[in-house]
Structure 1
Amino acid sequence: MAEIKIVGTAHVSQQSVDEVRLAIEEFRPDVVAIELDPARFSALKKQGRDPTVNDVLAVSNFNSLLVQWLLAYLQRKIGFDVGVEPGAEMKAAIEEAEKRGIAIGLVDRDIRVTLLRFWNSLGFIEKIKMFWALVISIAEVDRGQEIDIESLKQQNVIDVVMEEFRKFSPNGARALIDERDAYIAHQLVLLKVQRPEGRILAVVGAGHRHGITGYIENPSTLPPFDSLTREPKSFPWAKVFGFAVTFLFAFLLAAIAFSGVGWNVLLYAFLFWVIIHGTLAAVFTLFAGGHPYSAITCFFVAWMTSLNPMLHAGWIAAYVEARVRKPPLSDFRKIYETESLGEMAKIPLFKVVLVAALANLGSLIGTVLYFIFIFPVLNIDPGYVISTGVHNMGTWLTGLL
Structure 2
Amino acid sequence: MLTYIQQRIGAETGVKPGAEMLVAIEEAEKHQKPVAFIDRDIRITLGRFWGRMGIWEKIKLIGALIYSLVSVEGQDLDVDELTNQDVVSAAMEEFRKFSPHGAQALIDERDAYLAHQILMLGNRYDRVLAVVGAGHIQGVQRYLNAPETLPPLPSLTADVKGLPWGKIIGAAVTIIFLLLIAAIAFSGVGLEVLIAALAYWILINGVLSAVFTLLAGGHPFSAATAFAVSWLTSLNPLLAAGWFAAIVEAKIRKPTTGELRQIIEAETFSEMRRIPLFRVVLVAALANVGSSLGTVAYFVFIFPVLGIDPTVVITEGFSNMIRMIAGFF
Q: Same fold (TM over 0.5)?
A: yes
Query: Hey, what's the Cα distance between the residues in 1 that align with 2:235 and 2:216?
Result: 23
Q: Map of 1:1-400 to 2, 5 A cutoff? A: 70-142=1-73, 144-195=74-125, 197=126, 199-400=127-328
Query: Hey, what's the Cα distance between the residues in 2 that align with 1:113 and 1:163?
Result: 23
Cα deviation for residue 148 of structure 1 reads: 2.5
Amino acid at match of 1:147: L
Amino acid at match of 1:91: L
Amino acid at match of 1:152: L
SS of 2:131's equivalent? strand
Query: Hey, what's the Cα distance between the residues in 1 that align with 2:97 and 2:43?
Result: 25
TM-score, structure 2 as length reference = 0.96
Higher relative contact order (CA 8 A, sep 6+): 1
Cα deviation for residue 122 of structure 1 reads: 2.2
Cα deviation for residue 339 of structure 1 reads: 3.0
Percent identity, aligned pairs only, is: 57
SS of 1:103's equivalent? coil
Cα deviation for residue 129 of structure 1 reads: 1.8
SS of 1:201's equivalent? coil
Q: Aligned in 2, Cα 1:332/1:94: closer, same or farther, shift over 3 Å?
A: same
SS of 1:299's equivalent? helix
Structure 2 residue runs without a partner (length 5+): none
Query: Hey, what's the Cα distance between the residues in 1 that align with 2:51 and 2:242?
Result: 19
Deviates more, 1:96-105 or 1:175-184: 96-105
Cα deviation for residue 78 of structure 1 reads: 1.7
Amino acid at match of 1:327: P
Cα deviation for residue 274 of structure 1 reads: 0.6
Give per-residue Cα distances to partners, 1:85-141, cap 9 Å, x unaligned.
222112212222223322111111111221122122222222222222233333332
SS of 1:282's equivalent? helix
Give per-residue Cα distances to partners, 1:167-226, cap 9 Å, x unaligned.
11111111111111111111111211222x2x2111111011110111111111111212
Tell me if the contact between 2:272 and 2:278 (Cα under 8 Å) persists in the aligned partners: yes
Higher strand share: 1
Tell me if the contact between 2:13 and 2:78 (Cα under 8 Å) persists in the aligned partners: no
Structural RMSD (CA):
1.4
Structure 1 residue runs without a partner (length 5+): 1-69
Query: Hey, what's the Cα distance between the residues in 2 that align with 1:273 and 1:325?
Result: 30
Tell me if the contact between 2:226 and 2:287 (Cα under 8 Å) persists in the aligned partners: yes
